[in-house]
Structure 1
């Protein structure tokens, strides 16, 4: 199968390209002209040079490539994000998710599309959210609203075309902010990540390898459409996993900060991020894709990624 990956040079693409080539797919990697594609080509992909936001050029390049499937992993997320200015930091990613997705579908109207969504945009509530739970619609933090609007447009375009949206949790693994050299881990090591307002947000994590295996599974099941949560098995509150991560790193225990005092520093989105997020359930993906996460919990994943040994959440 000829599979075009948009976002092939990103964190997920680095794990996906070698896997898909290894299982026998012909992989094409969409990359902006001038990008460093050495690793992409070394992994066995053929480069398709075009900017997904350049409608004319991307249409010509993708139509010439004639993919059977387009895997849309387009993002432009900075290595460090200021929660007070999330909308600004995600402006290009928002365009890629809305405008870029539209361009990909127009360029390959006969191809199946598999797109990257988010599993932490659910309306806050009790228990892990399944795919039928509503996305955040009331009390949405101002900085998160344009991010959510772009995700909704991505999902609308993808599902309308008969495609599949993989809603990912908080991405970790090599190249991510949670890698040993990632920005979040550096901040935790320095004792600069406090527990704001109790740390009541519930996180579902997704290892980059799990995105790759979920896509591989989806390629073998062309009748699977709609949306699926691609997350680990055990959603965990921030107040548990953050202290456990600090202990694993030998870093200072996170300090506690009342939400009212922290709001000027982290903004409304920062407070919500640490207190209102809802975890997600992966039951439907397990059944429909016959897929399993590499690590059942982020506790296991962090231990393996950051120390090579077992660890338990506090």
Structure 2
């Protein structure tokens, strides 16, 4: 199978390209800069911006892929939660305009399979149980998260129109992520700058970038539609996983901080991120994709990445 990957140089893309090649597929790796393009056997590197409809239409027509994977984002290495909407503005365009351009190009070229990237932590926090895919997304999100959610909903709508599959990833960790050994979040934890706000009651479902890649491989080779949660087996409150992460890093134990005080520093979204998020259930993905995460728990994944220095 010939697979076009938009976002081939990102956190997931760098894991995905070799996974696809190892499975016997050809890869058309689309990136915005030539210096970033993968250079390996079985990969055709193409420089194109998916926001340029004419350019990406020509690429899809000329490369004639059997499947398109859209995992392109433009998320800053360090995010300011008080300015989340601005930090995600470019990514929101990639998820709306970029998705539309790719899907229209796929339709014109007769591409039979489309797989896109969603989020598994955008569920409405009205319940504390891990969310299955049918659970509603956030009904009244914090102001800074609202445009991010709107872009995700548009991406899912467009993917559904194309009979494609949205893979909703959890909090991504692994090489190149904010949870990598040189990532911005890990550096803040090392410096003792991440408190447990409001008791740390947010529930996180994590996804290692390698597991995201193997799920995409399974999705490309399947015929499923709709959406699937691609997360590990152990949703955990921040009050549980943050002290473990600090211990792995040899950092001080996180201190508590009142939500009202934290709001001054990180805003409504920052507080919601630490106190309201809902975990996700991966049962449907395991069953329908015959997929299992290599890192079944963030516990072993964090140790592998941060203590043993392994990359999946």
Question: TM-score, normalised to structure 2's length?
Answer: 0.96
In structure 2, distance between residues paired with 1:128 and 1:192: 28
Tell me the CA shift for residue 42 of structure 1. 2.5
For residues 117-165 of structure 1, give each alpha carbon's deviation from its aligned partner in whole angstroms, at most 9, with x where no partner exists: 0000000012000000000013x10000000000000000001110000
1:193-272 residue pairs with structure 2 within 5 A?
193-221=194-222, 223-272=223-272
Name the SS for the 2:177 alignment partner: coil
Aligned to 1:288: 288
In structure 2, distance between residues paired with 1:300 and 1:279: 18
| 1:192 partnered with 2:193 | yes
Name the SS for the 2:39 alignment partner: helix
Tell me the CA shift for residue 43 of structure 1. 5.9
- Please list every run of 5 or more consecutive structure 1 residues that lacks an aligned counterpart in the other structure: 310-314
In structure 1, distance between residues paired with 2:66 and 2:59: 14
- Please list every run of 5 or more consecutive structure 2 residues that lacks an aligned counterpart in the other structure: none
Q: CA RMSD in A?
A: 1.1
Compared CA separation, residues 43 and 204, structure 1 to 2 (3 A): farther
For residues 216-270 of structure 1, give each alpha carbon's deviation from its aligned partner in whole angstroms, at most 9, with x where no partner exists: 112222x211100000001000011001100111101112110001101000000
In structure 1, distance between residues paired with 2:56 and 2:9: 16
Aligned to 1:126: 128
Tell me the CA shift for residue 308 of structure 1. 2.7
Tell me the CA shift for residue 61 of structure 1. 1.7
Q: Which runs of 4+ in 1 moved over 3 A?
A: none
In structure 2, distance between residues paired with 1:5 and 1:60: 15
In structure 2, distance between residues paired with 1:63 and 1:104: 11
For residues 46-71 of structure 1, give each alpha carbon's deviation from its aligned partner in whole angstroms, at most 9, with x where no partner exists: 01221011111111122111111000
Aligned to 2:34: 35
| 1:175 partnered with 2:176 | yes
Aligned to 2:64: 66
Name the SS for the 1:165 alignment partner: strand
Count of residues paired in the alignment: 305
Judge conservation of contact 1:3–1:26 (CA < 8 Å) in 2.
yes
Judge conservation of contact 1:17–1:43 (CA < 8 Å) in 2.
no
Judge conservation of contact 1:48–1:65 (CA < 8 Å) in 2.
no
In structure 1, distance between residues paired with 2:144 and 2:294: 32
Tell me the CA shift for residue 37 of structure 1. 3.4
Aligned to 2:163: 162
For residues 152-188 of structure 1, give each alpha carbon's deviation from its aligned partner in whole angstroms, at most 9, with x where no partner exists: 0000000111000000000001111101111111110
In structure 2, distance between residues paired with 1:70 and 1:231: 22
Aligned to 2:50: 52
Tell me the CA shift for residue 44 of structure 1. 3.6
In structure 2, distance between residues paired with 1:121 and 1:37: 30
Q: 2:98 aligns with which of 97, 100, 108?
A: 100
Tell me the CA shift for residue 295 of structure 1. 1.3
In structure 2, distance between residues paired with 1:65 and 1:284: 33
In structure 2, distance between residues paired with 1:148 and 1:290: 29
In structure 1, distance between residues paired with 2:128 and 2:204: 13
Name the SS for the 1:42 alignment partner: coil
In structure 2, distance between residues paired with 1:161 and 1:219: 14
In structure 1, distance between residues paired with 2:218 and 2:120: 19
Name the SS for the 1:46 alignment partner: strand
| 1:14 partnered with 2:35 | no
